[in-house]
Structure 1
Amino acid sequence: MVTGAGRDTGRLLATAFAERGAYVFVAARRVDAAERTAELIRERGHGGAEPFACDLASPDSVRAFAVALAGRTDRVDVLVNNGAAYLHGEDLGDVEDDDIVDAIAGAATGTVLLTKHLLPLLRASARPDIVNLISGCGEVGHRRSGAHPAFYAAKHAQAGFAEILSHRVRAEGIRVVSLFPPDFVQDGPRDASSELTARSVVDCVLFAVSQPRDCFIREFRFEQVAPVGQD
């Protein structure tokens, strides 16, 4: 189950899981975007996919999606909390109030609610994993992104939720894996002097969930070359 799977990294995550034989539930704010990802998976002939609409900024949409998903499957093996609206802007006034509310509601409240409502399906799995695509913006002391302060706030909320969730569900055998990548690019060379790519982020996710059940990888932290004049 991948949120924010209608484009970019979410689409790459969904197709990567499908290439490994998974049946992927693809969620996006707009169902037509989710359908495009599902169709891409079908065309490639790997795994399978089913599209859903889920607006993480809307509690009603999250609840409706959870009910619809429960009607389609008896378990979820991997929940990837990827969906989040990125906000640019260094000054608080750079972004409208509604966009701030939407970004924090989607990344923070939406992640909590969706995980809450999908826990019964995860508990029904023999190998349940919850993966959170957070961001370096969720790390204490991180100042290297041009993201808006509201995006930083949303990602710190996600990080706090992931940490306590990992502690509380570990005894059930549910692994909670969080990634804190810096701002990264979708495509590019994958060498030491280049920016982190989405493919490398996806490879980290696939590595974590493929480990034996005695291996709990809680976090991925990434090195990043600081711009001149920054720490």
Structure 2
Amino acid sequence: MSFHQQRVVITGASRDFGRTLAIRFAQKGAEVFVSARSLEASRRVANEIRELGHERVHAFACDLSDAASIRRFADELAQCTDRVDVLVNNGARWLEGPDILSASDEDVIDTIATGATGTVLIVKRLLPLLLASDHPDIVNMISAAGLPAHHRSTAHDAFYAAKSAQAGFADILSRRLRPRGVRVISLYPPDFSNPDPLSPQWESTPRGSGDVLTAHSVAGCVFFALGQPRDCFIKSFHFEQVPDGPTDHR
């Protein structure tokens, strides 16, 4: 499907799946607004996209753990566009360690602030721009770690807390924004491989029933949900994890 004329905001877009989505949205014709903690990092991705021949890309700094940074990002975004058609809440800090004592207090605070508080504040600040669109969508890249009873991740407890908070926020947001025409779509992937979308591995990575989930397939779910008519509201995607496969690292 084509995303021509659509304006897409992606947080945490400087690396990994955020970068993948930024490139794939641009390849499908969208005007892309990418953010990362540092402006230098988001500019690197924006330049990659321009080198592909897509000029409609904009780079911003946004530290999701800092409310003032989120406000500045929203203000700068509003100077560039009068609407947002798709907001992808992808930014989150990964914190390793299955022992609650293994992380500093500062790391715990930053992880929860980035994943939980940051997501709430981004939606709060960008909601006026979303409501200015005639087909607004919010996509939340959560994690299997946000699901009840999930235990296969090597993530720190604080990461689990952040993702569980995101899941709860997404659920109530879906109910409260649907009457205003906003679809809220959440994805709960386990660990998945993320080959570079600009490399041959993007197409050649195995995608059989016994293989680890790929970014190609996860991105396909995002585009499928967004491409449905407005009467079709796909609230969430849940993925079966490969038995005895790698633990979740999202």
Q: How would you bin the TM-score normalised by the shorter chain? A: over 0.9
CA distance in 2, matches of 1:19, 1:48: 11
Q: Alpha carbons of 1:184 and 1:65: their partners in 2 closer, same or farther (altered >3 Å)?
A: same
CA distance in 1, matches of 2:224, 2:55: 18
Which amino acid counterpart does residue 221 of structure 1 have in structure 2?
A: H
Pairing 1:191–2:208 present: yes
Which amino acid counterpart does residue 40 of structure 2 have in structure 1?
A: D
Tell me, yes or no, if the aligned pair for 1:20 and 1:47 is still in contact at 8 Å: no
Which amino acid counterpart does residue 9 of structure 1 have in structure 2?
A: F
CA distance in 2, matches of 1:183, 1:101: 24
Q: TM-score, normalised by structure 1?
A: 0.96
Q: Deviations over 1:17-74 (max 9, x none)?
A: 1111110000001111100111111111136210000000001100110011011100
CA RMSD in angstroms, aligned pairs only:
1.3
Which amino acid counterpart does residue 41 of structure 1 have in structure 2?
A: I
Q: Which residue of 2 aligns with 1:120?
A: 128
Q: Which residue of 1 aligns with 2:137?
A: 129
Tell me, yes or no, if the aligned pair for 1:84 and 1:107 is still in contact at 8 Å: yes
Tell me, yes or no, if the aligned pair for 2:211 and 2:242 is still in contact at 8 Å: no
Shift of the alpha carbon at 1:200?
1.5
Instruction: For structure 2, list consecutive stretches of 5 or more residues without a partner in the other structure.
Output: 1-8, 196-204
Q: Which residue of 1 aligns with 2:110?
A: 102
CA distance in 2, matches of 1:31, 1:39: 12
CA distance in 1, matches of 2:178, 2:171: 11
Shift of the alpha carbon at 1:225?
2.6
Q: TM-score, normalised by structure 2?
A: 0.89
Tell me, yes or no, if the aligned pair for 2:143 and 2:187 is still in contact at 8 Å: yes
CA distance in 2, matches of 1:150, 1:198: 24
CA distance in 2, matches of 1:199, 1:88: 25
Q: Which residue of 2 aligns with 1:21?
A: 29
- Which residue of 31, 44, 48 corresponds with 2:56? 48
Q: Which residue of 2 aligns with 1:201?
A: 218
Which amino acid counterpart does residue 75 of structure 1 have in structure 2?
A: R
Pairing 1:175–2:183 present: yes
